[in-house]
Amino acid sequence: MHPRASELLYVLMGSLDVGFLGTTNKLFTQKLQEGDILVFPKGLVHFQFNSDANNAALALSAFGSASPGTVSVPNSVFNSTTDDNVLALSFKTDVANIQKIKSGLSG
């Protein structure tokens, strides 16, 4: 998350699965292809990952500020309605590890 700037993501090669959590914790997702552009709104938790293990992806990010900042937001990520499979792919792990992380944050 970038508290001081929106992020523009441009896919140069391949495809990316992207998403962000809206202000009501609703998950918005989309698959971007080469040439696609997406703006992640300022201050919202977001992700991007390449779900195609056989083809590389390349993207360029730009910010609306020279100092966009970043915030570590484990509770926003792991205590949301995001599907455990999406989290597992995003963090390059398995669902069992995602569930361990979630249980560690709840106690």
87 annotated to a ligand binding site: no
Is the CB of residue 82 less than 8 Å from the CB of residue 28?
no
**Among residues 101, 83, 92, which one has the least CA distance to residue 21?**
83
7 annotated to a ligand binding site: yes
> How far, in Å, are 17, 22, 99, 104, 106 from residue 30 at the CA level?
6, 14, 24, 29, 29
107 annotated to a ligand binding site: no
Binding residues: 2, 7, 46
Binding residues for oxalate: 2, 7
Binding residues for Mn(2+): 2, 7, 46
